[in-house]
Structure formats: C-alpha cells, structure tokens
Amino acid sequence: MKKQKLVILGGGESGVGTALLGKAKGYDVFVSDKGKIKENYKEVLIHNEIEWEDEQHSESKILDADVVMKSPGIPDKVALVKQIREKGIPVVSEIEFASKFTNATVVGITGSNGKTTTASLTHHILKQELNVGLAGNIGDSFAKQILEEDFDNYVLEISSFQLDDIKDFKPKIAVITNITPDHLDRYDYKFENYIASKFKIAMNQTKEDYLIYDADDEVITNHLKNNPVQSTLLPFSLTKTIENGAYLKNDNIIITIEKSQIIMPTSNLTLEGKHNVKNAMASSTVAHLLKIRKQTIRESLENFQGVEHRLEEVLKINKVKYINDSKATNVNATYFALESMDAPTVWIVGGVDKGNNYQELFRFVNEKVKAIICLGVDNKKLFEAFGNMVDIIVETEFMSEAVKIAYKVAESGDNVLLSPACASFDLFENYEDRGRQFKNAVRNL
C-alpha cells in the first residue's frame, strides 16, 4: 500500500512535533517553511531522516499531499493555502492531527486572556494525582508528547488559530476563559468570526462532555443563547449564584457538580486579582470533575507560582516595584494588569496594534497612571488616546531606554509596569524576548 503523504507548513515546535509523529505513524512526511527553520529543529529533522526545505515552498510537492498540517501562524489568506484548499486537500491543525493518535482524557482551554495561566494552574493541580501532560500553545508540542510520553491526560492551551482547522477534535472538558476582541486582523475584522472560532472547542462535544465558561462574560453567554451546544454546561461567576458550576460567596469559591460540592477559600491564593479568582475557579472545576481531592486542589492553588511574563514581579529598586507583564498582547490583558495596580504607575505600552480600542483603559489611566512610555515603531494611536490624560508621555524604540526613563520618572512607592497591550513583532522576536529584555534592563539599572 502506498504511504499517505503528509505535508507540514512551518518548521517550528508544532510542525516538527507533527513530523515526528507522522513519520512514526507511517506517513511520508515533507516539511516546508517559507522562513528559516531554526538550527535545533533542522537537526531533529535531519536526525530523523525527514525531508524538509526552508526559505521556499515547492508547490508541486506540497500540492501532491494527502493531508496538510499548517502551523497556526499561517493565515488562510495566503495564496498557497487557498490553492491547497481548492484542490480539496484537507488542511488540519497539529491539535486535530495529533488527537487521532491518543485515547487520553483531554482538557482543552481557550480564551482571549487567562488561558496560559489557567492551563498551567490546571496542570499544576492535576499532576499531584494524575499522569498528565501540558501542551498546545505551551511547552513541547502535543504531537511530540503523544509520541514520546503518551500521558493518560492532557491539558492543552489552544489558540483560536489552532481551533480554526479542527474537524473531529473533541476535548472531554473544554474551558473558555473569556472572549474579547483580539487578532481581528486574522478574522476579516469581524468579531463574530473570532467568537465562532473560539467556540469550535465545543463543536464536537456531546452531553457526556463538559464546557466550563465565564458566566459574567456577555460575549460568551449571548453566543450560547443563540448557538446552543450539546455539552453539559458548568459556568463560573464572581457575581451570580451558580447551581451547577462555580461561584464566589464571602471570599469562598463554591463548586457544585451533580450534587457534589467543594468550598475553597480565596484568602491564600498566590495569584492576585479578580481575573485570577476566575482562573482558579476554572482550574478547580476541572480538577473536581476529574476527582482530585479537595485538599490537593486547595494546596495547589496556594503554592502555584504563576506564569513568566504575566504580572511577574522582577525587582524592587529604591522602593519602586518593576513588573513584567509582556504577555499582555491585547487591551483586555492590560485592563487586568492596570486594574490590579495599587500604586501610582509608570506604564510602558505599545508595539504592533491589532485594531485596539483603548477606551476601556481610560478609567485606570486617569486613576493610576502618572507617566506613559510608548515602546513601538508607530505610537501615533497611543498619543491620540492618552496624550491629554498624563503629564508625561514619551516614545522610544529601545527597551533599555524605556526602563531608564521609567527609573527617572518613578518615585518611592510607585510601580513600573510593562504591559504592552500589543503584539511584539515590530521591535522584538516575541513577547518572551520583550519580557526578558525588560528584566535584563531592570537588573542592569
């Protein structure tokens, strides 16, 4: 029998992981990347005798595929992707491809914000009692873990781009943390297209499966009203009383699932801020569903260390706190960051704007921000939005300079917050690079 041809577009973590799994499962694999493939990934491909190319796409080879796995970073608008689809060749995401080769219980977590923290926290709780992997948008690829570890359970952080190319993928437990406008450039600037993409996480679920979601999020609740899903619903809320799901009462999280109830105090949560109470609710609900003991859940919530580049305290210098929130790549994430500031704040913001509307930040900027440092190639929109609100607004294209200006402006008791509300690709490789440069600049003060 002739081997099926698997073509992989993009030679990054998900691409190389899929290539390894595909080869192990008997596919004829070809990896093609329009950019340069990083040396460490090239070595893996060469070592495993997988055919690859970079800085080009050989169309004849690609259009000969039986199935194409495209990296989540490649938009559908690309001419080559259109050609592949016109030929009727199925295009899938890594999550879709890999899920066919495991019988594990899958927890899929998506949302505009909070998904990395919620996925990391969920994994942190579950690993105390279960054999569980953490993959998706985070760590080693899902495909590679299925090949090398094959855990009994997986927590997957899944972006809307990864959900776009899903056909049969069905998590046992799906979580939607929240939905706010983000990445609209990839969805024809239509918010409803982005919402529909997030809800694909529940598209194949049945009533035997669960959907955990934020009941305070009107975008989610309205979409569910008009587009009901099959899943068993477990909402969480800070304001409403929830019969099946989780809610907050007298600083306790109360979780009820099919008459079984657990109560968790929030007083000792290591993560601060209202949004983190929600992340804790979502993670605890997953853990309760998977029969983790209450004591384990409580201890795990109290000793979880948080995620790098997400409201991460770097140093205190002259009684000024420096906080790295480089992972805030949209306005809503920055909203949570500014909301949790309890001192006058020097705010470093900017980068590649994804169609941002800064209005929801006005209240916090008026209340808490004393100076704004714009760190991007084009800062016009930031000046228009905030120019009249603060006494000091300056721009720079260098992290080291931004931190030096912040150091001069900040006084004892203030915060310096890097929370860009934008993507990082104009001046940095990615948000991790941006966060690391910030931390290095602070340490070099």
**For residue 75, what are its two tokens?**
């938009």
Say how many CA atoms lie within 13 Å of 332 toward its Cβ: 16
Cα angle 200, 134, 51 (rounded to 5 degrees) comes to: 80
Whether the CB-CB separation of 349 and 333 falls below 8 Å is answered with no
CA distance linking residue 322 with residue 341, whole number of Å: 12
The pair phi, psi for residue 62, each rounded to 5°, is: -70, -40
Structure tokens at 219: 């975008």
Task: Determine if residue 113 is labeled as part of a ligand binding site.
Answer: yes
User: Does 114 belong to an annotated binding site?
Assistant: yes
Kindly state the helix (H) or strand (E) to which residue 105 belongs, with its residue range.
strand 105-110
Cβ atoms of residues 382 and 302 within 8 Å:
no
In the beta sheet, which residues pair with residue 322? Answer: 315, 416
153: β partners: 105, 132
Residue 111, annotated ligand binder?
Answer: yes
Beta-bridged to residue 37, according to DSSP, are none
* Residue 117 assigned ligand-binding role: yes
The reply, when asked if residue 136 is annotated as ligand binding, is: no
| Residue 293 backbone phi and psi in degrees, to 5 | -65, 145
Contacts of 218 (CB under 8 A, 6+ apart): none
Q: Would you say the C-alpha torsion 123, 126, 128, 130 has a positive or negative sign?
A: negative
Residues 201, 163 contacting (CB under 8 angstroms): yes
**Residues ≥6 apart with Cβ < 8 Å to 14:** 69, 71, 72, 93, 94, 141, 142, 143
Task: Give the residue ranges of the annotated binding site.
Answer: 111-117
Which residues line the annotated binding site for ATP?
A: 111-117
